[in-house]
């Protein structure tokens, strides 16, 4: 679904031959939606069968036999976005302000349907007098849907996922 104000990159609507620049622009767009708290639009970037995964362990093989910091299917991801805006979501009132700095974007592989994309994420989180920084290696599986890129899977490998961590009440 697209809105009149859709600000997705110009590659949208083009045949599936993604340039690095168009993929970068797509990831920057995703980051900006998160940083400007436009969560419904962010959710609309994801396919109906999308998975959103923040593993607990480095090199974690699967999300079913080992716990995850987040492992959401589309249903849980929608609920997560709803919960973010609930007036009594205590850890999210006020909601953290974030900067998602996306870099080192590389197209690892691709075919007519899907692209595998790697990037790095450096994230600053600010909430209630406290600023924290986070870093992650990120993998996106992007799919062409109606001539536009959509996220079929996102995996965020926080470098400190196995550390003693405070609660994470923002989206990565």
Partner 1 sequence: MDLTWLPKPSPHVQNTEWRSFKARARRLNGFAQLTNLYIAAFPMPVPDSQDLRSLVRPDRVHHSVYSDPALFELELDRIFGRTWLLLGHASQVASPGDWFTTRMGRLPVIVSRDHSGAVRVLINRCTHRGALVCHEPSGHSRAFVCPYHGWGFELDGRLTGVPVPQGYGDQRQQVFAEMGLRAVPRVELYRGFIFASLSPTGPDLADFLGPLASSFDDLVDRAPDGEVEVAGGVFKHTYEGNWKLVLENHLDGVHPNHVHISSVHVARDAADPGQPEKYADISIRQMRQNGAPEPVWEAIGMWTSDWGHGYMGDYHSDGRLVVGLNNPVFADYRKRLEQRVGAEEAQRILGVTRWNTIVYPNVSFMSQFRQLRIVHPLAVNRTVVYTYNLRLKGAPEQMFRDTVAFSNVVNGTASWVLTDDLEVYGRVQKGLEAAQPEWVNLARGVGGDVPEGELLRGGTGTSEIFIRRQFDAWLRYMCADSSGSAA
88 touches partner 1 by CB under 8 A: yes
Helix/strand/coil for 29: helix
Choice from 24, 29, 33, 71 touching partner 1 (CB under 8 A):
71
Helix/strand/coil for 19: coil
Nearer to partner 1 (CB atom), residue 67 or residue 106: 67
Choice from 95, 107, 137, 169 touching partner 1 (CB under 8 A):
169
Choice from 108, 122, 159, 165 touching partner 1 (CB under 8 A):
165
Consecutive H or E run containing 134: strand 130-145
92 phi and psi angles, rounded to 5 deg: -115, 10
Distance of closest approach, residue 168 Cβ to partner 1, in angstroms: 4
Nearer to partner 1 (CB atom), residue 31 or residue 172: 172
Consecutive H or E run containing 28: helix 20-35
Beta bridge partners of 118: 106, 139
Choice from 44, 91, 95, 107 touching partner 1 (CB under 8 A):
91
């Amino acid at each position: 679904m697209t809105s009149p104000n859709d600000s997705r990159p110009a590659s949208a609507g083009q045949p599936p031959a993604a340039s690095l620049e168009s993929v970068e622009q797509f990831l920057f767009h995703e980051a900006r939606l998160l940083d400007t708290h436009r969560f419904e639009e962010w959710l609309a970037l994801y396919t109906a069968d999308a998975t959103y995964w923040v593993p607990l362990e480095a090199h974690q093989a699967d999300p079913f036999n080992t716990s995850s910091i987040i492992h959401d299917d589309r249903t849980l991801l929608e609920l997560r976005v709803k919960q973010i805006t609930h007036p009594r979501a205590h850890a999210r009132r006020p909601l953290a302000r974030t900067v998602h700095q996306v870099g080192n974007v590389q197209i690892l592989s691709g075919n007519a349907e899907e692209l595998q994309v790697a990037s790095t994420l450096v994230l600053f989180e600010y909430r209630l007098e406290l600023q924290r920084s986070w870093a992650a290696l990120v993998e996106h599986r992007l799919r062409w849907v109606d001539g536009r890129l959509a996220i079929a899977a996102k995996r965020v490998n926080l470098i400190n996922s196995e550390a003693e961590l405070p609660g994470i009440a923002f989206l990565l």
